[in-house]
Amino acid sequence: MGRALLIVDVQNDFTEDGALAVAGGDAVAIGVTRLLEARAREYDAIIASRDWHDADGDNGGHFSEDPDFIDTWPVHCVAGTPGAEYDPWFDPAAVTHHVKKGQGVPAYSMFEGATDDGETVAEILAERGVDGVDVVGLATDHCVLASSRDALAAGLRVRILTDLVAGVAPDTSYAALERLVAGGAELGSAGVH
């Protein structure tokens, strides 16, 4: 069976100097680019997601002027703005599918998004006979967690490449990885420097 690489939200607003910056975000972007340069041919699909929120409204309660940083957040990754674009250290040339999520609604998992043609991640993986995924990106304790959980729920073998993820906080990131392992995921390393 096949294997896919899921690249979660390596975007300007989640990397250094972004609206919701994650420490180490640029390093993840650089590492993912190196992984693609070295091993893109090993994957049957390479899917990259982006938060792509509407400029108008609060996106179903996702945006708040007084965010709790659990369910509500400052404005980020607004469609068509520099913050929603991929981090400049991430070269998406090898990406086979680009997925947008969170258009008018809260969305953490890339499985909640779709390509511009309306194709979902689940459909892309099924079409290519993928039964295993490697997961990289941002943030470990939010969208990487949600995407990995949905991949597990879909019956996929999930491996998180821990040297190519970064989280909001060490404690919650560690807890997220523990939850994923308890749910059947494995932890691995891309081993690219």
**CB atoms near residue 44 (< 10 Å):** 18
- Record the pTM: 0.95
Query: Is 20 inside any structural domain?
Result: yes
Q: Is the peptide bond before 38 cis (omega within 30 degrees of 0)?
A: no
Query: Is 115 inside any structural domain?
Result: yes
Query: Is 158 inside any structural domain?
Result: yes
Domain with 87 in it: what CATH number?
3.40.50.850
With 0-12 / 13-18 / 19 or more C-beta atoms within 10 angstroms meaning exposed / middle / buried, residue 80 is exposed
- The count of domains in the chain is 1
Range of 100's domain? 2-188
Query: Is 159 inside any structural domain?
Result: yes
**CB atoms near residue 63 (< 10 Å):** 18
Q: Is the torsion defined by CA of 163, 72, 100, 2 positive or negative?
A: positive
- Active-site hit among 9, 51, 87, 150: 9
CA distances from 36 to 3, 26, 95, 139, 147 (A): 14, 15, 9, 19, 20
Query: Is 92 inside any structural domain?
Result: yes
Query: Is 128 inside any structural domain?
Result: yes
- Active-site hit among 13, 26, 134, 143: 143
Q: Residue 143 catalytic?
A: yes
Q: Residue 9 catalytic?
A: yes
- Active-site hit among 87, 100, 101, 163: 101
Query: Is 24 inside any structural domain?
Result: yes
pLDDT in tens, the chain (193 residues): 899 999 999 999 999 999 999 999 999 999 999 999 999 999 999 999 999 988 888 888 888 888 888 888 888 999 999 999 999 999 999 999 999 999 888 899 999 999 999 999 999 999 999 999 999 999 999 999 999 999 999 999 999 999 999 999 999 999 999 999 999 999 999 987 6
Query: Is 193 inside any structural domain?
Result: no
